[in-house]
Amino acid sequence: MRVGVLGATGRMGLATCKAVLDAPDLDLVAAVARASGVGRPLRELIPSAPEGLRVGEGLADLLAAEAEVVVDFSRPEATAAAVEGLLGEGVHLVSGTTGLPPEVMDDLGNLAGKADHGNAVWAPNFALGAVLAMHFAAVAGRFYPAAEVIELHHQGKADAPSGTALRTARAIAAARNRERRVPGNESVPGVRGGEVDGVRVHSVRLPGLVAHQEVIFGGRGEVLTVRHDSLDRTSFMPGVLLAVQAVTTRPGLTVGLEPLLGLA
């Protein structure tokens, strides 16, 4: 399968390029990034990259390389352009870009899988353990009166809260039969975090972190903690490769890895 990567020189993009290069049934045919690095041989960043493969600057490079699937770890504006420019050309899209505005998600749902259009998989997190932790949190949300989500990421993450935290909080809220709130006053505004559908969410951004999330449930005389830690970006690659292999056979838009893992 011919694969292109959008956002190829970022942390997740480089990890994706390496994973595609290491996969025996995938062929990395294009790598596209923003202005920094454009025109540079990819081999300068990844020694195992094919000779002659240079970092491109736009969707035209992905189309010219005849990529069948494009993996997108970029910015919301780049993802919006990819939705418009790739799906209509029959190219399948696997995206992990978070912070997408509602209209871009609507476009994904409306365009993916239409006649002669490519399919799409969008997920807030490709780490298998993170997906399982979200699933476990949704199950626990049925049984506990209170829950709070604490997500911790590297200081370069553009959005807060993370897409994983938003999805987790909404899943907990959806599992409840009524909204549950823990009363309390803030002597320092914002100290209790933000609120997503009645679930408190706290975001931490620090150097040294990669991607971590802890969900704490409180009940009578007990607490339950569901935690996942990604210690290296290679933790996301099995999920990315799973989505790349699956997207061609899943018409329309698939949200999250849960359907691919039989958890939907």
Phi, psi angles (nearest 5°) of residue 29: -110, -15
Q: For this structure, is 157 an active site residue?
A: yes
For the four alpha carbons of 178, 129, 48 and 92, in that order, the dihedral sign comes to negative
Please report, for residues 6, 72, 78, 114, 228, the alpha-carbon distance to residue 56 in angstroms, rounded to integers and kept in the order given: 9, 14, 14, 28, 35
Q: Which residues contact 221 (CB under 8 A, 6 or more apart)?
A: none
Q: Of the listed 18, 92, 117, 153, which one is catalytic?
A: 153
Distance (Å, rounded) from C-alpha 213 to C-alpha 105? 24
From the list 42, 62, 39, 38, the residue with the least C-alpha distance to 51 is 42
228 given a catalytic annotation: no
Element (H, E) at 147: strand 146-153
Beta-bridge partners for 217: 147, 224
157, 202, 212, 228: the catalytic one is: 157
Output the six-digit token pair for 210. Answer: 């990669």
Query: Tokens representing 68?
Result: 């069948």
CA distance 30 to 64: 9
Q: Active-site residue numbers?
A: 153, 157
